[in-house]
Amino acid sequence: MADTDYERYARFHTPDPRIAERERAAMSPEEKAWALDKGSGHRSGWLNWVILPVVIGLWAPMVCIILVLLAYQALFAPGFDPQQHREAILTAIQASTLLLFIVWVAWNRHRARHDPRLLYWRDLPEVAEVELERHTLVSAFSLWSSNYDPDNPQVARWADGRIQQVADSGVVQWLLAQTAEGRWLVLCERVAGVFRGHGTQVRPAAASQWPLSEELAIAFAPRTNIPLGLRFSGAALALAETGHWLSRGDLDRLARIAHHWTFFAPERYALINPSDVPWLEALLRRAQSAVVDSLPSTV
């Protein structure tokens, strides 16, 4: 039976023993902030524990008991009169409501103390370590996509020493880089700014959303494929700007093979599998033959 989307999400955010341990390093302030941000969806506290039983517990036990009594009356005892047993019924409703509340809170408390995913994200900022996966880049090409989501018009950014929500332009820059090992590595970054209208292909003034250089270390939450930051160092790396805008079909396939979200070992973050390399190189050839050295517009 295939995993549900939530089960895949939970697995992706749980430390995986199949991921080989990488080089350890202390977290930067930005990486620690991202660890807190990503961990915010994996917390369990008293507020989470009591909301559901308070909301459901006020009516669910009563509805269930009434339905059971009606079924009993219809099937087994047509002369049964609930009014004659009113006190017993009210006591049963109160007891079942209290039992639901106690069981739900106890289960969530137990889960918060033993669930490896919740414990991991609770402790990660205090551990304050990341794992680094290093790559040497020898060439890099830039492609673009436009995919504005009116239901999610903001993007998180590190600014002024904290993570802030800023306007999302809907434009994404894709970086296709070849490593010294001959692998293709794909990064993407949503461009912050004011959106100029559906389908508008407007590139930002800056040539790149990254401080590109030859040495790249991707900082991961330990034993996961969840990146907390990119560390560039070494000599500057020239970026070949294709000016190519991805079609919907190409965008969907590139996003799938780039291994950015919900993938599992032995696949590695941002690295293209050998079986997908011919398609990626064909896409890059099309992008390079299609033009454009620059479009001097600004988001």
The pLDDT of residue 290: 65
Q: Does pTM surpass 0.85?
A: no
Distance CA 295, CA 298 (A): 9
Q: Name the nearest CA neighbour of 207 among 144, 271, 289, 138.
A: 144
The pLDDT of residue 200: 56
The pLDDT of residue 295: 42
The pLDDT of residue 211: 82
The pLDDT of residue 2: 63
pLDDT in tens, the chain (299 residues): 567 888 899 999 999 999 998 999 999 999 999 999 998 888 777 677 777 777 777 778 888 888 888 888 888 888 777 778 788 888 888 888 888 888 888 888 888 888 899 999 999 999 999 999 999 999 999 999 988 777 888 899 998 889 999 988 888 999 999 999 999 999 999 888 775 554 556 677 665 677 899 999 999 999 999 999 999 999 999 999 888 999 999 999 999 999 998 899 999 999 999 999 999 999 999 998 865 444 444 44
Token pair in block for residue 157:
């950014």
Q: Tell me whether strands 129-146 and 240-245 are parallel, antiparallel or unpaired.
A: parallel
